């Protein structure tokens, strides 16, 4: 087998791997997130609970992410393996903006949930009163609007430039995404915030026995803290590889051709994206 044929085989194999994983993850994630929503909305113990509200919104965002990725994979299969983001300017902009909005919303929700659980398990009555269901809903609305506004420049400066595909054409925006967005805003910042507050909430729960509260409330706080802790761990571990990949490649322009560099990039992208969507399949209602 010649070197060119071997590279073509690697590229085709990565597309098959990505497609099969997408179908499996979509099915598992859809079932798991629907179970989360059903449990958190129907069980009386979780009604009007702020953390349960965050987890419900998180599951909705997860379903949206999995669905848009599934649609793209099905569309790619229907046009003989061609990535639709490189074939349609409208889909290039729409999918990129939607993906970014969903990623920012997911990071925001995970951070909100960790912070809220820290407040509601804190020994200080003042800190426990700072968080409310009304405030949680307001935070989600404001975050949705801000994340949507953030995607506008991304959509404006995205173009299809053969043979590079769907890329950013503005140098300043490339620098912003290289040095701030992927490294801080959608990288280290949500990872540090969510990890720190979930650990502090877990620490609060370990000492919750000292507070004079009903046993049922104590068990509920412990259960919700465990759910948030699992969600944060899955978010950090599975989102981190894609963040590292984007930091390494956002300033690189790799021509779509039968070259070892392109084949390596395709496999790295496929694996990192699969890990991202794998974090959307976590079933919290155990």
Q: Which domains does the chain have, with CATH numbers?
A: 3-281 (1.20.1070.10)
> Is residue 65 within 8 Å of 110, Cβ to Cβ?
no
**What pLDDT score was predicted for residue 34?**
92
Q: Which residues, at least 6 apart from 272, have a Cβ–Cβ distance to it below 8 Å?
A: 241, 242, 244, 245
**What pLDDT score was predicted for residue 108?**
92
- Give the integer Cα–Cα distance in Å for 245 and 256: 17
Q: Please say if the pLDDT value at position 207 is more than 70.
A: no
State CA 283 to chain mean position distance.
15
Predicted confidence band at 282 (pLDDT cuts at 50, 70, 90)?
A: confident
Tell me how long the chain is: 286
Phi, then psi, of 285 in degrees rounded to 5: -85, 60
- Give the integer Cα–Cα distance in Å for 219 and 205: 9
Predicted confidence band at 286 (pLDDT cuts at 50, 70, 90)?
A: low
Each residue's pLDDT tens digit, 143-174: 999 999 999 888 888 877 776 677 788 888 88
Lowest mean pLDDT among 48-52, 132-136, 206-210, 232-236: 206-210
Each residue's pLDDT tens digit, 29-88: 999 899 889 988 888 777 778 888 898 999 999 999 999 888 877 776 665 656 666 667
Location of structure tokens 């070259």? 259
Any bridge partners for residue 168, and if so which? 158
* pTM, to two decimals: 0.83
């Amino acid at each position: 087998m010649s070197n060119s044929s071997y590279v073509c085989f690697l590229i085709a194999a990565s597309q098959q791997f990505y497609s099969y994983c997408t179908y499996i993850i979509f099915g598992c994630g859809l079932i798991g997130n629907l179970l989360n929503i059903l449990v958190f909305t129907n069980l009386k113990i979780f009604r009007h609970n702020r953390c349960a509200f965050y987890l419900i919104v998180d599951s909705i965002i997860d379903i949206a992410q999995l669905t848009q990725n599934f649609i793209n994979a099905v569309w790619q299969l229907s046009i003989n393996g061609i990535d639709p983001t490189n074939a349609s300017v409208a889909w290039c902009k729409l999918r990129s903006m939607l993906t970014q909005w969903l990623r920012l919303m997911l990071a925001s929700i995970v951070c909100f949930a960790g912070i809220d659980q820290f407040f509601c398990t804190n020994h200080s009555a003042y800190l426990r009163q700072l968080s409310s269901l009304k405030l949680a809903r307001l935070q989600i609305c404001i975050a949705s609007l801000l994340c949507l506004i953030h995607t506008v420049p991304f959509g404006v400066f995205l173009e299809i430039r053969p043979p590079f595909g769907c890329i950013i054409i503005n140098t300043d925006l490339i620098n912003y995404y290289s040095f701030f967005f992927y490294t801080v805003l959608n990288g280290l910042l949500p990872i540090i915030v969510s990890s720190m507050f979930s650990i502090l909430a877990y620490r609060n729960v370990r000492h919750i026995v000292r507070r004079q509260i009903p046993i049922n409330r104590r068990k509920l706080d412990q259960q919700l803290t465990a759910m948030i802790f699992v969600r944060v761990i899955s978010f950090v571990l599975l989102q981190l590889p894609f963040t590292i990949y984007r930091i390494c490649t956002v300033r690189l322009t790799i021509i779509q051709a039968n070259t070892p560099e392109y084949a390596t990039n395709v496999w790295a992208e496929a694996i990192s994206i699969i890990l991202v969507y794998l974090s959307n399949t976590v079933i919290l209602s155990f």
